[in-house]
Chain A
Amino acid sequence: MRPLASIITAGCAKYGRRDGLYARELLAEALDEAFENCPRLSRADIDAFYLGQAFEAFEHQANTAPSSAGGYGFRRIPAIRLDSVSSSGASALRQAVLGIRSGEYDVVIAAGVEKMTHVPTSVALDVISMASDRPFEQWNGVTLAAINAMMARMYLRDYKATEEHLAMIAVKNHRNGFYNPKAHLRRIVTVAEVLASKAVATPLKLLDCSPISDGASCVVLCRPELAARYTDCPVDIVASAEATDLNFVFREQLLGFEATRVAAAMAYAQAEASADKVDLFEVHDAFTINELLAYEDLGMCAKGSASRLLENSETSVGGRIPVNPSGGLKSKGHPVGSSGTGQAYEIFLQLTGRVEPERAVKGAHTALSHSMGGAGESVQVHVYRKRG
Chain B
Amino acid sequence: MTTITVENIKKSFGDADILKSVSLDIKDQEFTVLLGPSGCGKSTLLRIIAGLESQDSGIIKIGDRVVSHLPPRERNVAMVFQNYAVFPHMTVFENIAFGLRMKKAPEKKIKENVERTAALMHIDHLLKRYSGQLSGGQRQRVAVARALAVEPDVLLMDEPLSNLDALLRLQMRAELKSVLEASKTTTVYVTHDQVEAMSLADRIAVMNSGRIDQYDVPDEIYSNPATEYVGSFIGNPPMNFISPDYQVGTIPAGATQLGIRPEDFNVSKEARDNYWPITVLTREKLGSHQQLSAELNGQLFRVNIPNEIEIESGNTLYLMPKEDKKRWYTEGGKIIL
The yes or no verdict on A and B being binding partners is no
Binding site for B on A (CB under 8 A): none
